[in-house]
């Protein structure tokens, strides 16, 4: 840590070299100036926006060959190669108008997309890495968007009244099993996948395509990168470990691999923790990708991830804090998918893929141990065709899930639980453009569950109408998802849980500003419910209660989102607000009640400010969530307790001492709020009939991170800025 701090101080005081002035104009095909165009020197923080006359000017310390990237909403992006030597550079850029979805109405209800090529982008890939408080975690960044719930004790995505299990992750269209890293009880986990491996993110809070199934509330679709053009090596020196990555590029293809070692043990030895660790988390991860393009018509991609993680701690009895039971967790995770895209005759295209996913846990609590093994095979093919007014998408898939667990107690022996669930599905949908101002999407998804021998047909419908510069969108859909593994392993005849979504949204995008307002209603049916509602069984024990699908519920609310990176020079900020009204009668709930993870109000402000003179970007995120309910067995009624409001102010700073090195420092919960996420109580009362309770708090008041990121390549202007 001292070495990193010393390195940071040395870098801050590094001498400056002579700067190269770059200026010019950006115009359209008719020679008219384009105001608000974004002009950036690729691989650096250096750049500017055009003024009302289409003019721009900035200075850079970069030397050598660089690429100037120019983009503006409604126009095709353009790149121009420059040679920088300290002498003045003047350029004139002409952009062609883009014949894109911005010129016609598009389906937007419930969806946030992020990708360099998507003209409707509201959340770019770099946002995931540079949002303060997210610590480069995909779920952490998405939790600043409307529709999400701040559930700090898990760190996962809870969307519109749904629990974290109801958000399903897909990579290149292929389903992911167990998308989060293991974590200690009531401590936040992280997503398993690093954002730098993906070129785009599509986050839908409801009403998503018929292509995506087995997701009750939300779909998070990650699109891995296509081929890289530059051979490079990236090194990260971190306060919690280290990583190294290498990308090898060739004509029409590339391969990339990254090894990351994370060891929280030295860090947690220095920072006071509320968790009684024996050995804090330690993990090793290897991820890789191979991409090969075949002419102009085919692209083959492979993506893989392997992770080994373990930790151990003492669990303290609530009624007797002095007692300690050792808990040890080891996880081995593997994921790989192979996907292919190609253009077929008669304007058809195909996307096909296969993925295989395994996750193995070995858990021990005192004398009780569990060996848990899960695997999923996914095979899928999608065929698409588009004309000027009609687009058709159809396909089919097989999701085959296999699960086994063995519970062993030294006195009672071993109990095994298992199931195999093959699900076959077919889907089809069409987009019909009636005019530039009106489009409709109709789809249907059919599924057959080979475990329960149930067949289902689920419709999806979306309409969008352009209103001036904005548009109004309406969406409806029926969705279903198999019960969580812990319930299905106890009763493998439980049916799929169901939800119906209705959404109405208005979205306005002008230049580099986005406004979005949406209202929604969700109805839940066939939720898993204990036949005799009462106290939830212990988390670390085989479930032995009768269950059925008699549960139900609803979630409704409204959301606002505003993003602006135009009004203030070198400033990008967004504000999001969500209101949620929800009730559920499920699991052990004896009556309909607000779930313990739901808060009525969620509010986030994200602010990023780049200071060219300092070559530094500063970021701040403030998150607020209103009180959440919890059940206190010492009081009459159910879910009658209420936590304090949640508040978190996080900050980060990224400094670019050279074009190939970045120093990044971040701190969560800067002001040290003592956030309480609920209370947990003893299973039985004491002699006075009182249930002992304990607050669920943050594992530590703050989390500090310091990293130095170095890129080695022939092009000295490339760095890891998009990966921070």
Query: Does the 103-247+431-723 domain belong in CATH 1.20.140?
Result: no
Query: Which pLDDT score, from 0 to 100, does residue 65 have?
Result: 87
Query: Which pLDDT score, from 0 to 100, does residue 230 have?
Result: 81
Asked if 291 and 253 touch (Cβ cutoff 8 Å), the reply is yes
Q: What are phi and psi of 140, to 5 degrees?
A: -60, -40
Query: Which pLDDT score, from 0 to 100, does residue 101 have?
Result: 37
Can you tell me the mean pLDDT for 268-273? 83
- Does the pLDDT of residue 678 top 80, yes or no? yes
Tens digit of each residue's pLDDT (9 = 90 or more) over 519-540:
999 999 999 999 887 766 767 7
- Does the pLDDT of residue 17 top 60, yes or no? no
Asked if 711 and 234 touch (Cβ cutoff 8 Å), the reply is yes
- CA angle 455/457/458 to nearest 5° reads 135
Which residue has tokens 């009556």?
591
- Maximum C-alpha span of the chain: 86
End-to-end CA distance of the chain: 19
Which residue has tokens 């991860």?
285
- CA angle 250/253/258 to nearest 5° reads 90
Can you tell me the mean pLDDT for 159-188? 92
- Does the pLDDT of residue 115 top 50, yes or no? no
Query: Which pLDDT score, from 0 to 100, does residue 121 have?
Result: 39
For residue 328, what are its two tokens?
């040890």
Which residues are registered as beta bridge partners of 363?
329, 370
Domain ranges of the chain: 2-99, 103-247+431-723
For residue 182, what are its two tokens?
């293991």
Rounded CA separation 78/89 (Å) = 17
Asked if 404 and 373 touch (Cβ cutoff 8 Å), the reply is yes
Output b/e per residue, 213-222; b: 16+ Cβ within 10 A. bbbbbbbbbb
Name the band, by pLDDT with cuts 50, 70 and 90, for residue 107: low
Query: Which pLDDT score, from 0 to 100, does residue 718 have?
Result: 58
Q: What are phi and psi of 595, to 5 degrees?
A: -60, 155
Can you tell me the mean pLDDT for 589-607? 96
Query: Which pLDDT score, from 0 to 100, does residue 442 have?
Result: 94
Q: Which of the two residues, 553 and 99, has the higher pLDDT score? A: 553
Rounded CA separation 548/595 (Å) = 19
Which candidate, 106, 107, 34, places its Cα nearest to that of 77? 34
Tens digit of each residue's pLDDT (9 = 90 or more) over 372-389:
999 999 999 999 998 878
Tens digit of each residue's pLDDT (9 = 90 or more) over 341-370:
998 988 899 999 999 999 999 999 988 999
Compute the mean pLDDT over every residue in the chain, rounded to the nearest whole number: 87
Asked if 301 and 224 touch (Cβ cutoff 8 Å), the reply is yes
CA distances from 392 to 267, 350, 382, 399, 463 (A): 53, 12, 10, 23, 16
For residue 166, what are its two tokens?
């109801």
Asked if 718 and 232 touch (Cβ cutoff 8 Å), the reply is yes
Tens digit of each residue's pLDDT (9 = 90 or more) over 186-216:
899 998 988 777 877 788 888 888 999 999 9
DSSP string of 117-181? T-TT-SS-HHHHHHSTTSTT-HHHHHTTSTTEE--TTT---EETT--GGGEEEEETTEE-SS-B-
Can you tell me the mean pLDDT for 237-265? 92
Q: CATH fold of 2-99, please?
A: Immunoglobulin-like (2.60.40)
CB count, 10 Å around CB of 675? 21
Q: Which of the two residues, 700 and 15, has the higher pLDDT score? A: 700
Which candidate, 265, 228, 271, places its Cα nearest to that of 246? 228
Q: Give pTM, 2 decimals.
A: 0.83
Which residue has tokens 């420059």?
82
Tens digit of each residue's pLDDT (9 = 90 or more) over 43-82:
776 888 888 788 999 888 888 888 898 987 667 788 889 9
């Amino acid at each position: 840590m001292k070495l990193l701090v010393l390195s940071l101080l040395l870098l801050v005081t590094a001498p400056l070299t002579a700067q190269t002035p770059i200026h010019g104009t950006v115009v359209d095909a008719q020679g008219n100036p384009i105001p608000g165009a974004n002009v950036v020197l690729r691989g650096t923080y250096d750049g500017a926006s055009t003024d009302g006359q289409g003019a721009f000017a900035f200075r850079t310390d970069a030397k050598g060959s660089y690429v100037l990237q120019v983009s503006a909403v409604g126009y095709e992006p353009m790149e121009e190669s420059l040679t920088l030597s300290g002498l003045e550079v003047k350029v004139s850029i002409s952009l062609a108008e883009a014949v894109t979805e911005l010129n016609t109405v598009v389906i937007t209800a419930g969806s946030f997309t992020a990708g360099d090529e998507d003209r409707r982008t509201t959340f770019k890939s770099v946002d995931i890495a540079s949002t303060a408080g997210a610590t480069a975690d995909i779920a952490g960044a998405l939790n600043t968007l409307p529709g999400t719930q701040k559930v700090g004790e898990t760190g996962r995505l809870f969307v519109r009244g749904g629990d974290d299990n109801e958000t399903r992750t897909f990579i290149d269209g292929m389903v992911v099993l167990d998308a989060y890293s293991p974590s200690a009880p009531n401590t936040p986990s992280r997503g398993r996948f690093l954002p730098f491996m993906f070129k785009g993110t599509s986050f839908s809070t409801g009403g998503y395509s018929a292509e995506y199934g087995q997701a009750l509330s939300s779909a998070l679709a990650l699109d891995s990168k296509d081929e890289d053009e530059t051979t490079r090596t990236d090194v990260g020196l971190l306060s919690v470990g280290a990583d190294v990555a290498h990308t090898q590029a060739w004509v029409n293809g590339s391969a990339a691999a990254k090894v990351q070692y994370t060891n929280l043990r030295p860090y947690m030895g220095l920072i006071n923790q509320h968790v009684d660790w024996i050995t804090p988390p330690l993990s090793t991860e290897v991820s890789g990708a191979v991409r090969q393009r075949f002419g102009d018509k085919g692209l083959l991609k492979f993506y893989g991830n392997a992770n080994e993680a373990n930790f151990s701690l003492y669990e303290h009895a609530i009624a007797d804090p002095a007692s300690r039971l050792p808990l040890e967790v080891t996880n081995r995770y593997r994921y790989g998918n192979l996907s292919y895209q190609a253009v077929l005759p008669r304007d058809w295209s195909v996307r096909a893929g296969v993925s295989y996913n395994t996750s193995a846990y070995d858990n021990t609590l005192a004398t009780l141990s569990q060996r848990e093994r899960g695997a999923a095979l996914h095979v899928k093919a999608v065929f698409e065709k588009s004309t000027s007014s009609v687009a058709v998408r159809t396909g089919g898939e097989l999701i085959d899930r296999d699960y086994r667990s063995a519970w062993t107690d030294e006195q009672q022996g071993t109990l095994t639980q298992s199931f195999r669930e093959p699900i076959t599905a077919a889907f089809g949908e069409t987009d019909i453009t009636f005019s530039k101002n009106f489009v409709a999407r109709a789809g249907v998804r059919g599924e057959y569950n080979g475990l329960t021998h149930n067949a289902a047909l689920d419709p999806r419908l979306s309409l969008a109408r352009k209103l001036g510069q904005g548009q109004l969108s309406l969406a409806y859909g029926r969705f279903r998802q198999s019960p969580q593994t812990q319930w299905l392993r106890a009763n493998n005849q439980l049916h799929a849980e169901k939800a119906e979504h209705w959404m109405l949204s208005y979205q306005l995008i002008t230049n580099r500003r986005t406004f979005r307002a949406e209202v929604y209603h969700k109805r839940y049916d066939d939720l898993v419910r204990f036949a005799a509602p009462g106290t939830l069984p212990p988390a670390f024990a085989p479930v032995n209660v009768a269950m059925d699908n008699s549960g139900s519920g609803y979630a409704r609310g409204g959301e606002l989102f505003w993003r602006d990176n135009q009004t203030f020079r070198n400033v990008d900020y967004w504000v999001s607000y969500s209101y949620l009204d929800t009730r559920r009668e499920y699991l052990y709930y004896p009556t309909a009640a607000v779930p313990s993870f739901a808060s009525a109000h969620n509010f986030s402000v994200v602010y990023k400010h780049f200071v060219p003179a300092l070559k530094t970007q500063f970021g701040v995120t403030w998150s607020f969530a209103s009180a959440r309910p919890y059940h206190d067995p010492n009081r009459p009624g159910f879910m009658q307790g209420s936590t304090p409001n949640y508040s978190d102010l996080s900050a980060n700073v990224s400094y670019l001492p050279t074009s190939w090195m970045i120093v990044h420092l971040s701190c969560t919960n800067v002001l040290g709020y003592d956030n309480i996420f609920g209370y947990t109580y003893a299973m039985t009362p004491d002699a006075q009939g009182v249930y002992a309770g304990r607050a669920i708090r943050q594992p530590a008041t703050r989390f500090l991170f310091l990293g130095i990121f170095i890129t080695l390549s022939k092009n000295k202007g490339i760095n890891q800025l998009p990966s921070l």
